[in-house]
Structures are given as structure tokens and as C-alpha cells.
Structure 1
């Protein structure tokens, strides 16, 4: 393969990956709110004046929902994806500014304002982390989100709203130019993207309806009435998702088809295109085919089809025009369907030359074990990896600490942290969970790559992952370290004390051992007296044995409220405790409050990675051996 061809292929691949990443990001804002879109679609299809059950009172819901509710939900979700709960609030405040600043549904503005709000508050929180005096956290949090939200709302009110209105007017003028040049099918190049940006009503009623009324007055029908209103392009895309899509998009497509095709609410399919922006090609080609079919068959409607339902279109069709109308819908749907399935199935199906295949094979040999359909082949930018468990403390903290060191040593600028599964967000690039918890993690977040691990201290797994990321030369630099150097002194004096280390305990069952260490943590004032129940519940969900002869008993997420202060205790069992066929010689009980225990967790991870060292500590009769190993 020549250098020029290689560069071109790499450029095309990078562009494809960027488009896919952009689509996943938009999807993370839209998909959680699909239910709201469906609710609005049903209300619109039923109760507007030309709906199935016209009702002047109930139809009052339609305008406020599309103007305020749906954009605010998107802005809230977009802010949450970037900045968590605080980002969601600030994103919603910023979105309110862009909504009030214009008279048209502001979905695209919400997709900008929401993430911007989340990003701003996230950066603010990073800047002040560790600098707020105790007792002032809530005051600073509330006022910072309010002030930043206010500034963004004012900015988007003054800038984004007017800018979108200008864009809408410009699109309308461009469509009229194509009409005057007798290039009617080419209007779809502008119309379909404009529809996806929720400017469909502005284009249809602001441009095509006036033109159509004039033409209909002269010849009794007009093609203009069925350019934007043709349900064929959207139908084809939804059918492609139904048959060839994945996950929630595939599952929700049939319901969306009913609302779109029968109810005439085209907005219902716009989010499906936003999930994969390349599908705009399918919409454009489908729209062009429908318009061209109508031109050839000399079709047209006698009045606007509102809403754009197949029933409304047929009701507005002249007696001699049914063939043209039905053909325009069928052809448009067929074209967008076939183009759509090509786009949805294109990933991973391109033919590879011998050199590319060899490179891929080498990568596969060193690739860490991942869950199905979650390889790193298409990833070119990883900035955040999260190791997650049920409570986000013991086992995940150990795994994150071990991986963080390896990432830093490799010179990769990747943030590695640990979280509870329920706290995962869509802006994470890779989520690593125990194999028993991966299905649950996938229900919480869809966008990240999910990797399964059976042993959180599996050094080979992390080495392979780091090696693959390093080969891709992603964002070289240094990794963020969240703990501070002065945390070490606090850790030495409070978190692990010699009184918390017990040697030479006789072997017992894992249930008894976990309960024993939980009671010991309570006696030392780290947790409430019944905390051991949450530790046993954690073991039932997923084993606390993390490998190399060590178990890390800790509570579930619900048990966090029972943690009184940060502390670590260690019980040594020279003959081992049986954890479903695995022997644990050291049980390390962890009570984590805030991030105070991360420093010792880091040292524990280093020791546990060395299996010979664990065997030595599992047999030692000197408390200082364990204390000094974990505290230094």
C-alpha cells in the first residue's frame, strides 16, 4: 500500500470515527427522551384540528411541549452527559435562554446550550476542587450553578436564538432559488437537513405552502405541497432501524413508524437520524426520489397535507393523482430504506488488504478481553476510563488505581477513576466492570465501550489495554491524579492503623469472614454496627474476591449512608478463606468516605499485583510487615 493511499485511508477512517462519535454524543442526548417525543407525537396526531380526534382544549398541549418541554429535556440531558447532575441543571438554564430567544422549536439550540452548560460547570468544579472550606460547599455549589446558568442563558438568549432564525430564513431563500431554476428534486438537499434540525414547519409553511397555494389556484394542484410532507424518507429510515438497528433504537422504531406514517408527525424520526448523522444521505436521496417521481408522473396535492400523514396526503390528492402520490411515497421510502441499511451495516464490512489484515491480527493478539461487539477498533480518542462496581469503593478503586499507574507510566493523557455503576454517565469512553455486573452497567449507559473483567487485579488485562491505547498514540501526556500529596499523612495517621490489622485467624466460611470484618470495622468506629449486612449483600451480587489471594469486602451503594468515617482493616487467614474455589489470605475491609482512602488503595493495588508478595504477607507473623507494606 502506498504512503498516499495509506494517508487517505487513515483520513477517511478518522472522519468516519468522528462522525460516529458525534452521532453517539447526539444519541446520548436524544434517546433518553424518546418517550417524551412519542407522547408529544400522540397528542399532536390525536387532538390538533386536523387530527384523529380534534379537541381544541387538549391540543393546547402541543405548542408548549414542542417549544419548551422537549428542548429543555434535551438541554438537561446534554448537560448531564457532560457535567453530571450539576451540569444537567446548568444545561437546562442555558437552554431556557435559547428557547425564549426565538419563536421556533429550538432543538438544535438545546443540543448546543445543554452540553455547553455541562462543560462550564464541570470546568468550574475542577478549578475549585479542594479549595472550598468545610461547611461552605453547598453555598458555593448553589450560587456557582445559578450564576453560570444565568450568564449562559443571557448569552444564548441574545446570540443563539437570533442566529437560528437567520439560518432558517436563509434556508427558505435558498429553496426558493432552486424552485425558480426548475431544479425541484434538488430542494431535498436543503429540505431534508432542515427538517432534521426541526425547521420542517418553517420550510413547509413558510416557503412551500405560499408557493403551493399560488400554483394550486392556477392549475388545481401543486407539487410544493408534497415536498416536505412526503412521509416516505422518514418511513424508510425507521424501517431500516427496525430491521437492522440495535438496542433501544431498534425496539422503539415500530412505534415511531405508526406515529410518523399514520399520524403524520415527522419529528418522531429526526432523533434517529441525529443518532447516525450519515443517515441524512438516506433522507436526502429518498426525498429527491419522491420529488422526481412526482415530477415524472405529474402529481401534486390540492392543499397542504397537515400533518404529513399518509391519510392526510391521500385526502388532499386529486382524483387522477393517487398513482403519483402513492408512488412518490413508496419510491422515497424504498430509496431511503436501502441507503439506510447500507449505512447502518457499513461498519466493519469494508474489504481489507493484506497489510491491514495483518495489522488487525497483531492487534487482536494483544487485545484485552471485552464483552461482545465492544472492541477498540474504531476508537481514536479516549480521554476517560472508569472502573465501576456496585458501590464504587473497594474493588473498583483497586482496579482504577492499578490501571491509573499503568496509564501514567505509558505517557497517556487519560483520566482513570472509579465510580458506582449507578453514577456512570454517557461521556465516559470506556467502562470496566466485573463480568457479573457488565449487563447492569449497559442498562445505565449506552455510549461507552463496556469491558468485562473477572479479576480487578488482572495486571495482564490492564497491560493489554494500555498497550493497545498506546499503539494508537492517543493524547500523549500525563494522566490526571485526583489525590493530593498531603493526603498521605492523613492516611498514615487515621485510615490504616495497626489496631486494624489482625494476624493468624483460623479459616472460616466466606460469609462468617465478611461478617467478622464488618463487625470489626464497626467496633473501630468506621461504620454503623449493621454495615456488615450491606457487605454480605455486595458479595451476593458479585464476589468481593479480586484475585491474587485477596478479597476486599465492602458495602453496596445503599450502604454508603452507614459509613461514618474512612478506615481500612485487614484480617489475615494463613490457611485461606474459600471464595467459590479461590483462596483469599488477606481480607481488606474498606469504609470509604469522599476520596480520603484513595492513597492507601493505590498502595494496596501495588502490593496485590505482586502475587508472591501477597503470599508472603499472608504468612507473616509481624504486623509491621503488613502495615509498612500498605502505608508507605
Structure 2
């Protein structure tokens, strides 16, 4: 029993991973499908011999490379994606058929290998050689994998594809192709649909299109009819929340093409597997009988997508529409009998959705559509916390520094980092942002547990979060805990020398103060002139006030190119200045490059988390006295 469960979990994880490689690239599949449907020569809507040349390179190169990149990125973010794409080129050139399945192999493999290599050399590369090692390692490993794919993986997958093609041809000629629904419909619930559809059926379908101008293989998995039949039955004969939610789910499924939205309805009543299997088989039989088919994959599986890539002839439209309608009617009738004979009083849709999520391994689109819950905190699973702000160099770095220290003190095996909002990974667990930025962060990482703060320097907010996480346990090792970069004293002197500190300043408004800080950074060679305007633009997005009478103006994320080197300026404003209703007495202008400023910024964050210390800083009479509150970060004498 345990072994069978392990195999089931492994298959579910495989299906989820394969799905994640394809879904981000559906737009490219749609573009290719439309180009094929419109310009395919000679059977397109508007046949065009010249534009027909777009079709083959798109499906041969662009789509597999996108899948390979997504697979590598899934394992090791952008770096893994690049190596995965290089490796995929080998499998593409090594065969003469579209290599979607090969891309699904080489992409993740490339990401995994470069990740292992980086882990192996972590901490062993001398300063100044990081970029050289990073680029050459990616190039060498990617090139080696491309050769391996060209000589071995490509030909192997080619032979497998030929065997599968022969099997499909046999099924068609023997008249038993409808039986594939026995495998395809349950496979959707295991999230293997993209592996089957784009890994197997699509390459075979493309070969058929070259010979006959269309292929029924594109409709075997994409047909929305079976799922629509189940949802319509729930609309009329369901109970409780399942019946109330089914109409909306039906619209999303049929017109939006999100098939997974009907999966929980089947998981509530496993007998409904027979509904979709019989519905799918009936649809395939209809397709074979009426000689239907598509010129390209219908991705997503929406009725709109299906009609868009139907060959431009009335008979094809009749056959494809009949396929969907027959599958829907048969599925509806079988579902009707199953639901009518069911004796339970209500369906637990939420429980079924949770079951589906556990199978998929993450919160699904269906869960988001069927539920208003967003981002639940499970302390035992938290491994990473990210502070996010617009540019990722100022307030988020300071907040991360404070929480990192608290996490380390509690011995929690959690990494605390900071980044720009637009760089937030989709699968983030906990994201902390200023309240005004939370909505943007949710769009970037919709499944994360989001924490909104008004004051990045308020330790009490982090203490509450730590209390929630204490169930995590464990000891933190050096590699578990992300450290603030160590900065040498000379580097500190360059980033925040005494000449960058100004006492007893006064300003009419916050813009004047920000421009003053920007001018200091420009005049001392840290940034170019354009950075000043970028600081104003950043302030317009949301206030850089972080609490405790401190503001940290800095440029936008896009302005990082204007930064020549890391620099910080500290400006004392004893009388205070208004930052959107908050009084600021310390203005800390920041320009951060490659994290060089984070060591000092960490010390500033720790110092400024104490309001009494900040008050003393605003009363400091000399530059030396003010800098002394940040610890020993400069040894240079102050110019009188």
C-alpha cells in the first residue's frame, strides 16, 4: 500500500511539473495556432505561401525552447532556464520532429545540473571572478548537455515518438481510438494532461497536419465536452455549495478553457470518472466518423480556441462542434444517473479542492476561482521569507536585516532575503511589503502568505510573525541562513564617508530633501544625473518613510543602470519635514549596486529600530557623534 501511494505521489508531482513547463507558454501556442489556421498553405483561412514559412520554425524551435527554458527555470530560476534552453537546442537539432517531449526532459535536467554545480562551488570563488565563473560554467555545461542531447537523447526520443505514432496509427485503423479516453480523462486529474497533449499528441498531430492538413489528435485531450457535461449535471441535480458554484465553473471551463476547475467536482464523486471517460470516448468516435480535426493544438481547451484552429471548411466545423456536443451530452446523462442515485445531503467542494491541491502540490487556478482564500501560513513548511519593495535596495533590505537577526536568534531554519516586487518568485511562501505595495505583491505572488507593514523598523510586527513560525523548529546552519554581505572597512568608508553626512539641514518639502540627497550622490560619483529624477518617481509610487522618523529615498528599480557604485548619504533634519503625514528627521539617501551597501544598511536598520537612539541621532552636534550610533563603520578623520 505504501509503495502504491509513493508511485501515485510521484506521478502527481511529475504531472504538476510538466504542467508548469507548458502553462506559462500558452500564449506562444495560441500565436502559432492562429498563424497556422490563417496562413497554412493551401488549407488555411487565408492561404499564403510566404507567411506559411512562419509555421515550421515556430513549432520546431520557438515552442520547444520556451518549454526547455521554463523547465530549467522551474528548477533554478533564470540561470537554470538559460542552461535548459541551451540543452534543448541539442535535442531539437538532433531530430526532425517537434521536440516538446525532449524539451520536457532537457530543460529540467539543465536547470538541475547548473544548480548542483553552483552549490558545489559556493564560497570557493575568489572575489572579482564571480561573473567569469558564472558565465563560463553556464556556457560549458549548457554546451555539453546540448551535445549529449544531440547524440543521445534526441535520437532516443525520436524512436519513442515513432513507436507512439505507429501505435496511434494502429488505433485509428483498427477503429479503437476512442478507447484512449480511458487513459486521457483520468490523466487530466493527475495533471498529466500537458505531458500527454503537448509531449505526445501535439508532435504526432503536427506530422498529420503536414500530410492531411488537420489532425484529430489535437482534440483528444482538449475537448471541453466531458467536463462540461459533469458541470451541467451539478447545475441541475447537485446539492449545496457544489450546485451553487457549478454555473460559474461551467462558464470558466467552457469559454475560458481552464479544465482543472471541474476536477474537484469529480473528486467529490469518483464514479463521475465514468462520465468523462464515456463522454470523451463518444466525442472521439464522432470525430473519427465525421473526419474532424484541427490544424494546431487548442490551448487552452476552450470552445473559442477550438473554433479558432478549425480548418476553414463547413464540414470541419460541423465535425468538431459535434465532437464537443456529443461528449457533453453523454457525460451529462451518465452524471445525471450518478448524482440522482447519490444519497448524501451535501457535497464538500472545499475538501475536494484541497484534495486536488495536495495532488497538484500547490494552490491551483481552480482553487483561486472556487475560493476566496488566499495565502495560508503553514509554519512547518516555511523555508523562506522575502521582503519586497519597489527597487529592493532600501526599505526591504533594512526590514530583512532586522527579521533575519530575530530568526537566527530563535534558531529557525528560515532564509530571509529582500528583492524588488517585480522579481518576486511565483511560488514564494511569505512576502512582507509596505501596506501600499501589498496589492502589487499579491499580483506577482498570488499564492503567498502576505504580511503588510506600515513601519519596516517596528520589531513588534516581526515578533508576532516569529511567534507564528516557532513551530518550525530546527537549528540554523551557515548555509540555511542568508547573511548580509560582509563589507571591508575601506569599502564602508567609500559608501558612507563623513563627507556624505549633513547636520542641521532644513527643507521646504520632501521633494527638496530628496533632490538634496540625490545631488550628494551625483556630486560624489555614485550615480548619474538621471538618478535624481528616478528618486522622485520612486517617492510618487509610495512613500519611502519607513518609520521612527526616518525616510530612505532611492531610485526606482528601472534606475539601477544609473548607479555607478554603492553610496549612502545621511541628512539630519532636526526641525522635521513632512513625508505624507509623517514627520521625518533623518533622511538616508541610498544607491545600492550588487549588494555592496547592505552591510552598512544592516547596521543602520538595527540602530534606527530604537526610537530613542534615532532621537539622539537627530540631536547629534558633530558628524563623528552621529556616525558613532552606527557602530565602527568609518575610521577616516572628519574634515573640519
TM-score (norm 1): 0.71
Contact 1:575/1:585 (<8 A) preserved: yes
Contact 1:531/1:555 (<8 A) preserved: yes
Q: CA shift at 1:587, angstroms?
A: 1.5
Contact 1:411/1:476 (<8 A) preserved: yes
Change (3 A) 1:494 1:43: closer
Distance in 2, matches of 1:18 and 1:413, equals 29
Instruction: Check if 1:33 corresponds to 2:25.
Output: yes
Change (3 A) 1:302 1:414: same
Q: Between 305-314 and 576-585, report the one with greater CA deviation.
A: 305-314
Distance in 1, matches of 2:322 and 2:354, equals 39
Match of 1:307 in 2: 294
Distance in 2, matches of 1:449 and 1:17, equals 26
Q: Which secondary structure state, in structure 2, belongs to the residue aligned with residue 43 of structure 1?
A: helix
Match of 1:71 in 2: 64
Change (3 A) 1:559 1:59: closer
Q: CA shift at 1:599, angstroms?
A: 1.0
Match of 2:278 in 1: 289
Contact 1:507/1:575 (<8 A) preserved: no
Q: CA shift at 1:462, angstroms?
A: 2.7
Q: CA shift at 1:95, angstroms?
A: 1.4
Q: CA shift at 1:630, angstroms?
A: 1.3
Change (3 A) 1:524 1:605: same
Q: CA shift at 1:443, angstroms?
A: 5.0
Distance in 1, matches of 2:35 and 2:404, equals 50
Match of 2:517 in 1: 517
Match of 2:410 in 1: 410
Q: Between 433-442 and 36-45, report the one with greater CA deviation.
A: 433-442
Q: Which secondary structure state, in structure 2, belongs to the residue aligned with residue 412 of structure 1?
A: coil
Contact 1:79/1:91 (<8 A) preserved: yes
Distance in 1, matches of 2:11 and 2:389, equals 30
Contact 1:80/1:425 (<8 A) preserved: no
Q: 1:107 aligns with which of 77, 100, 112?
A: 100
Q: CA shift at 1:315, angstroms?
A: 3.9
Change (3 A) 1:430 1:156: farther
Distance in 2, matches of 1:460 and 1:43, equals 57
Match of 1:365 in 2: none
Match of 2:199 in 1: 198
Unaligned 5+ segments in structure 2 are 188-194, 209-214, 232-244, 296-305, 339-345, 356-371, 633-640
Q: Which secondary structure state, in structure 2, belongs to the residue aligned with residue 306 of structure 1?
A: coil
Instruction: Check if 1:331 corresponds to 2:330.
Output: yes
Q: CA shift at 1:495, angstroms?
A: 2.5
Match of 2:606 in 1: 606
Distance in 1, matches of 2:165 and 2:14, equals 30
Match of 1:589 in 2: 589
Distance in 1, matches of 2:433 and 2:11, equals 26
Q: CA shift at 1:584, angstroms?
A: 1.9
Q: CA shift at 1:552, angstroms?
A: 0.9
Match of 1:154 in 2: 147
Instruction: Check if 1:543 corresponds to 2:537.
Output: no
Distance in 2, matches of 1:566 and 1:607, equals 20
Change (3 A) 1:22 1:620: farther
Instruction: Check if 1:464 corresponds to 2:451.
Output: no
Q: CA shift at 1:182, angstroms?
A: 12
Q: CA shift at 1:167, angstroms?
A: 5.8
* Aligned-residue RMSD, C-alpha: 5.2
Change (3 A) 1:65 1:385: same
Distance in 2, matches of 1:343 and 1:44, equals 43
Q: Between 41-50 and 281-290, report the one with greater CA deviation.
A: 281-290
Q: CA shift at 1:53, angstroms?
A: 4.6
Q: CA shift at 1:125, angstroms?
A: 4.8
Contact 2:379/2:469 (<8 A) preserved: no
Q: Which secondary structure state, in structure 2, belongs to the residue aligned with residue 480 of structure 1?
A: coil
Match of 1:234 in 2: 224
Contact 2:377/2:449 (<8 A) preserved: no
Contact 1:189/1:284 (<8 A) preserved: no
Contact 1:234/1:333 (<8 A) preserved: no
Match of 1:481 in 2: 482
Q: CA shift at 1:538, angstroms?
A: 1.4
Contact 1:302/1:317 (<8 A) preserved: no
TM-score (norm 2): 0.70
Contact 1:506/1:575 (<8 A) preserved: yes
Q: 1:98 aligns with which of 91, 96, 106?
A: 91
Q: How many residues align structurally? A: 558
Unaligned 5+ segments in structure 1 are 1-6, 208-224, 258-268, 352-371
Match of 2:80 in 1: 87
Change (3 A) 1:285 1:469: farther
Q: Which secondary structure state, in structure 1, belongs to the residue aligned with residue 387 of structure 2?
A: strand
Distance in 1, matches of 2:67 and 2:348, equals 24
Contact 2:80/2:115 (<8 A) preserved: yes
Q: Which secondary structure state, in structure 2, belongs to the residue aligned with residue 587 of structure 1?
A: strand
Q: CA shift at 1:66, angstroms?
A: 2.4
Distance in 1, matches of 2:348 and 2:133, equals 46
Map 1:8-407; keep pairs closer than 5 Å: 23=16, 29-46=21-38, 47=40, 51-53=44-46, 58-125=51-118, 139-158=132-151, 160-161=153-154, 164=157, 187-192=180-185, 193=187, 195-200=196-201, 229=219, 233-235=223-225, 254=255, 287-290=276-279, 293=282, 301-302=288-289, 304-307=291-294, 315=315, 326-332=325-331, 346=350, 373-377=373-377, 381-407=381-407
- Deviations 1:585-605 (Å, cap 9, x if unpaired)? 221122222221111111112
- Deviations 1:34-87 (Å, cap 9, x if unpaired)? 221111111333326655455566545444322322111122234345545443
Change (3 A) 1:245 1:387: farther
Contact 2:485/2:598 (<8 A) preserved: no
Change (3 A) 1:550 1:345: farther
Distance in 2, matches of 1:91 and 1:300, equals 37
Distance in 1, matches of 2:496 and 2:322, equals 81
Contact 2:72/2:83 (<8 A) preserved: yes
